[in-house]
Amino acid sequence: MELYDSHAHLSSPEVLLDIENIVLRAKAAGVTQMLNICTDKESLEAGIALHARHPHILNAGATTPHDVEKEGEAYFELFAQAAKQKKLVAIGETGLDYHYERSPVALQQKFLIRYLHLAAACQLPVIFHCREAFADLFSIVDAEYPKKSPAVLHCFTGTMQEAEEVLKRGWFLSLSGIITFKKSEALREVAKIIPLSQLLIETDTPFLAPQSKRGKPNEPAFLPETCECIAKVKGIAPQEVVHATTLNAQKLFSKN
């Protein structure tokens, strides 16, 4: 198995404390490539240093919709410069979150548009975070991001209809350990309709550990459980999920 963890916060402070052991455990579990998500100055600097030590760990970056009121203006140019200097392979996670609404909706939308324009200018894919805001996300992206440009909806937990809208736009759809949870029957039904050609898998480390590890900090070494759950739901061999999702992630996050 050569799994690709397409979304992990490896340079977040709590993960960095044990990062070298986490990388070793990932390798032992067959996770050979990872995308680190940077969300501020400190995690970006740590992510760049992490890539220098471990070239199989690539970086993406943006201020999350939760934090744009507090940090959006302060860090936008930082991420823009990193993108232009080819230190990032994707822009994100950016998007909209109306469930918590920790930043005003209008400000979330403003920074989403700015990051969409940055991604288009740098010819980088976008990683979307979306919760209870799909109609606005689709509307804004359709208006502000060139059609058929690359994107992924990370940690998808939406409805069947919302998944169909994601797939219709040609985006990738990423599933996390949530799919293994006992109460995630609806999400497992969604997994059945996702073509392997548009599927990614992720841990969202250190969040959302799969069912057998619930309550523990998540890490890339736990990704096989998510992979095996998806394979069972789709009625295929785990290796088919491994092969497809790894190729998809490599294509989407290729170093430019």
Answer yes or no: are the C-beta atoms of 33 and 8 closer than 8 Å.
no
Token pair recorded at residue 24: 């070793």
Query: Tell me: the pLDDT tens digits for 156-206?
Result: 999 999 999 999 999 999 999 999 999 999 999 999 999 999 999 999 999
Other Cβ atoms less than 10 A from the Cβ of 79: the count is 26
Query: Tell me: the pLDDT tens digits for 31-70?
Result: 999 999 999 999 999 999 999 999 999 999 999 999 999 9
155, with CB counted inside 10 A (0-12, 13-18, 19+), is buried
Task: Indicate the pLDDT class of residue 100, thresholds 50, 70 and 90.
Answer: confident
How far is it, in rounded angstroms, from Cα 39 to Cα 47? 10
The verdict on domain 3-252 having CATH code 3.20.20.140 is yes
- Segment 128-157 mean pLDDT: 97
Answer yes or no: are the C-beta atoms of 118 and 91 closer than 8 Å.
yes
Q: What is the pLDDT of residue 243?
A: 98
How far is it, in rounded angstroms, from Cα 211 to Cα 48? 32
- Segment 22-39 mean pLDDT: 98
3-state class of 129 per DSSP? strand
How far is it, in rounded angstroms, from Cα 181 to Cα 66? 25
Q: Which amino acid appears at position 116 of this protein?
A: L
Give the residue from 168, 174, 124, 176 showing the smallest Cα distance to 145.
Answer: 124
Buried/exposed 87-121: b ≥16 CB within 10 Å, e otherwise: bbbbbbbbbbbbeeeebeeeebbebbbbbbebbee
DSSP H or E segment with residue 229: helix 223-234
Longest dimension (CA), the chain: 47
Instruction: State the pTM of this model.
Output: 0.97
